[in-house]
Amino acid sequence: MKRILVTGGAGFIGSHVAELFIKQGHAVAVLDNLSSGKRENIPQDAEFYHVDITDKEGLQKVFAEFKPQVLNHHAAQISVNRSVREPHFDAEQNILGTINLLEASARHGVERFIFASTGGALYGDAPTIPSSEDTPVVPLAPYGIAKASAEHYIRFFSAEHGMDAVVLRYANVYGPRQDPHGEAGVVAIFSLKALADEECVIYGTGKQTRDFVYVKDVARASLLALEGKPGTYNVGTGTETSINGLFAEFAALNDSLKVSHHDARAGEVFRSVLNAGRANANLGWQAQISLSDGIGETYQWFKSQGS
């Protein structure tokens, strides 16, 4: 049993991670400023600290009181678009906020730091598909620049303070509780459109591809990262799904669903899919939930919310 502090645990992915940790018998506290997260996402058995990661004093109190052995860091400014408009804000949250947590972790003897990073935003239009962790990191927007920078700080603190570090580079995560405006919001958006019988919009040809990984698979990566070999790992399915292919999954759930194509969005990566072989070899992780099953569960969840 570990004492685990989950930052961003009121959000989409962090709440699933916190839930799984609790289910496995760990003691969990959630730290979140509720900027996009919701109170109702926080598992009942988790302690909750309504604190911002940019508030160094607030963090000291949390670390002194909860005494985490593991830091699972999911809190972030997650909008790539906002990072382009407000790079200073993005860096404050995603770089300085991470440094604050690293400093507090080092001071309070945290044994392991697990970080939610990103594959797609780091590799951009990668030369090799599916992309391994050795793919050159060429972030196209401040969001990816900040995630890359945070990874470097984590490796530095790990070497300097003997703290284990696990960096999980996620593909496009989808599932229940996702905000339709998130990074991989397309699954949430299509779910709402399919339920409301409204037209889905695809930007460009729809032949652009993504690696859609189900949030419960992603949460399992954090669980395996508690004991697994420290390192940097891609967390994706290795399967390339076009947006047209994704739409077909929803059309199978609602056969009167319509689609229209709008102009492609500037700067959009065309193909993005991750090779998670290293996570399989070192953590024993691989995606287990098929796209159809994951979309079915997500669709049912949005339906149950009365969406």
Tell me the catalytic residues. Answer: 143
DSSP 305: T
* CA 144 and chain centroid, separation: 13
4 binds ligand NAD per the rule CB under 6 A:
no
Helix axes 291-304, 186-196, angle to 10 degrees: 60
**Nearer to ligand NAD by C-beta: 176 or 228?**
176
**Nearer to ligand NAD by C-beta: 89 or 156?**
89
- Pick the binder of ligand NAD from 69, 93, 98, 237 (CB under 6 A): 93
Q: How far is the CB of 297 from ligand NAD (least distance, A)?
A: 16
Binding mask 53-82 for ligand NAD (x = CB under 6 A): xx-------------------xxxxx----
Distance in angstroms (rounded) separating the CA atoms of residues 268 and 32: 30
| Alpha-helix residue ranges (DSSP H) falling in the chain | 12-23, 56-66, 80-85, 87-91, 97-107, 120-123, 142-161, 186-196, 215-224, 243-253, 277-283, 291-304
In terms of Cβ atoms closer than 10 Å to its own Cβ (0-12, 13-18, 19+), residue 1 is exposed
Q: What are phi and psi of 104, to 5 degrees?
A: -65, -40
Q: How far is the CB of 255 from ligand NAD (least distance, A)?
A: 28
Report 115-144 residues binding ligand NAD (CB under 6 A).
Answer: 116, 118
**Nearer to ligand NAD by C-beta: 54 or 132?**
54
Binding mask 145-174 for ligand NAD (x = CB under 6 A): -------------------------x-xx-
Binding mask 16-55 for ligand NAD (x = CB under 6 A): ----------------xxxxxx--------------xxx-
Q: How many residues bind ligand NAD (CB under 6 A)?
A: 31
Binding mask 284-303 for ligand NAD (x = CB under 6 A): --------------------
Stretch near ligand NAD under the rule CB under 6 A, chosen from 82-90, 181-189, 203-211, 243-251: 181-189
Torsion of CA 209, 291, 42, 180, to 10 degrees: 40
Please report the beta strands in 219-276, taking only residues with DSSP state E, as ranges in sequence order.
231-235, 241-242, 259-262
Of the candidates 146, 157, 148, the one whose C-alpha atom is nearest the C-alpha of residue 108 is: 157
Strand pairing report for 241-242 and 209-210: antiparallel
Q: How far is the CB of 239 from ligand NAD (least distance, A)?
A: 15
Would you tell me which residues interact with ligand NAD (CB under 6 A)? 8, 10-14, 32-37, 52-54, 74-78, 93, 97, 116, 118, 170, 172-173, 179, 182-184
